[in-house]
Amino acid sequence: MTAASLSVKGISKSFSGLRAVDSVSFEVKAGSIQALIGPNGAGKTTIFNVIAGAFPPDTGDILLDGQSLGGKRADQICRAGVGRTFQIVRPFNDLTVEENVAIGALVWTDDVKEARDYANEVLKLLGLDDKRTARPTGITLPDRKCLEVARALATKPKILLLDEVMAGLRPTETDRMVNVFRKLNNETGVTILLIEHVMRAVMALSSHIVVVNYGKVIAEGTPEIVTRDPDVLACYLGAEAVH
């Protein structure tokens, strides 16, 4: 698995006259873990949807390792190396954990055995190998969150977009996920861009943070710089900043 850089260049997206994303630009370095944060409704998931090809930007472009993703369908962007998770975890409950992950691998192989073998490698990496024969309904919420990551990881992404995968977890469960993502980044080198409200996780993982509000980038930099930015404190972090 290789890492890729991502360049978001002046993307905008409107829905029924409402501009959800307004001329957003930022860079994600290959092999890094970076975060995209901001209040609810700030446009974060819309940015992910544009990157992943759920819908095209009205303006601007997305570059993966310098190559434009413009005009590509979501499945083509996935094959190019962009994997993503979703806020609401919706596995195939009639399939086993292993089968859920193997479906992701079928993006790059038609060989079901190869897909299953790779799925088991991913499950072992994420600490889910002992759950491979279970149904998603029979595992814990943290394990279902890991399963969502595993399904995306099975597509062999160069960059992984994680959309609030730690929402609803207890602090100890959050710490477990932080360790999973550190291990994932260290052992595979995959680039990670995460949307997250759990600042405990953001501070522990991210080397660089981009902050959006009302669809615009209002600040970016290291965690230390961003968490002391007056605009960020006013619109989002407040007194709880890094606690």
Report if pTM > 0.85: yes
Is pLDDT larger for residue 78 or for residue 240? Answer: 78
The pLDDT of 71-91, averaged and rounded, is 93
The pLDDT of 48-64, averaged and rounded, is 96
Asked if residue 101 lies in contact with residue 147, where contact means CB atoms within 8 angstroms, the answer is yes
pLDDT (0 to 100) of residue 240? 46
CA angle 100, 187, 99 (to 5 degrees): 10
Q: What would the pLDDT profile of 13-45 be if each residue is shown by its tens digit?
A: 999 989 999 999 999 999 999 999 999 999 999
pLDDT (0 to 100) of residue 239? 42
pLDDT (0 to 100) of residue 87? 85
pLDDT band with cut points at 50, 70 and 90 for residue 237 = low
pLDDT band with cut points at 50, 70 and 90 for residue 108 = very high
Please say if the pLDDT value at position 65 is more than 50.
yes
Q: Which residues of 105-138 are buried (b: 16+ CB within 10 A; e: fewer)?
A: bbeeeeeeeebeebbbebbebbebeebbeebbee
What is the rounded distance in angstroms from the CA atom of residue 5 to the CA atom of residue 3?
7
The pLDDT of 59-79, averaged and rounded, is 96
Pairing type for strands 82-84 and 159-163 reads parallel
Backbone phi, psi, residue 240, to 5°: -80, -5
pLDDT (0 to 100) of residue 119? 97
pLDDT (0 to 100) of residue 34? 97
pLDDT band with cut points at 50, 70 and 90 for residue 2 = confident
Q: Taking Cα atoms as reference points, which of 182, 174, 126 lies closest to residue 150?
A: 126
Please say if the pLDDT value at position 120 is more than 70.
yes
Q: What would the pLDDT profile of 179-232 be if each residue is shown by its tens digit?
A: 999 999 999 999 999 999 988 899 999 999 999 999 999 999 999 999 899 999
Please say if the pLDDT value at position 104 is more than 60.
yes
Mean residue pLDDT across the chain: 93
Please say if the pLDDT value at position 243 is more than 60.
no
Q: Which residues of 144-154 are buried (b: 16+ CB within 10 A; e: fewer)?
A: bbbbbbbbbbb
Q: How many CA atoms lie within 13 A of 167 on its CB side?
A: 15
Q: What would the pLDDT profile of 123-166 be if each residue is shown by its tens digit?
A: 999 999 999 999 999 999 999 999 999 999 999 999 999 999 99
Asked if residue 99 lies in contact with residue 92, where contact means CB atoms within 8 angstroms, the answer is yes
Hey, what domains does the chain have and what are their CATH numbers? 1-81+157-243 (3.40.50.300), 91-156 (no CATH)
Checking phi first, is residue 43 left (phi over 0); if not, alpha (psi -120 to 50) or beta? left
pLDDT (0 to 100) of residue 238? 61
Q: How far is CA 35 from CA 67, 71, 84, 206, in A?
A: 22, 26, 14, 6
pLDDT (0 to 100) of residue 242? 42
